Amino acid sequence: MVSAHVTTRALGGHDFASPIDDRWFEDYRPGETFEYGWLGVTEDEIVEYATRYDPQRIHTDPAWAEDGPFGGLIASGWQSAGLMMRLYCDHYVSAVASLGSPGVDELRWSSPLRPDDPVRLRVTVAEARVSRSKPDRGLVHTEVALLTEDDRCPLRLRAMNLLLVRPPR
């Protein structure tokens, strides 16, 4: 089991050239793909989260879930989104240039996340353009996938982030 309070890392030897605390709009190049991991949730963490935020029996009642539609307990999709955001913020979104997000598109939960299933984040910069009305920033579109060890995809979305351009030196 990989706990949410362990240090995660870049996977596959490929990462941004600039560290997260010196990463600006210009560092997000369309076509680049990065992977970061690993995180996971225990059965107790799934039940605790769901009891508070998503109280459906497929998330809160292991005995019922065993005979339920997924053949066992699964994490809430929103809990999967939380794992994705942890990895996204720790490794992908700039710590100095991020101005937030106007939203996400195409959110899908296509495969259940089960207890003790380690997940990694795969991000691909899909598009990056400087704002026409505010040239001190740009909009980055990112294809985001949360993947298990066997490449199942508990969460997929297209994120948008506003990022400051690199200030003159």
pLDDT digits (tens, 9 = 90+) for 127-139: 999 999 999 999 9
So what's the pLDDT on residue 169? 80
Question: What is the bridge-based pairing of β-strands 155-164 and 103-108?
Answer: antiparallel
Alpha-carbon gap, residue 165 to 140, rounded angstroms = 11
pTM of the entire predicted model: 0.93
Reported as a pLDDT band with limits 50, 70 and 90, residue 63 is very high
Alpha-carbon gap, residue 106 to 34, rounded angstroms = 20
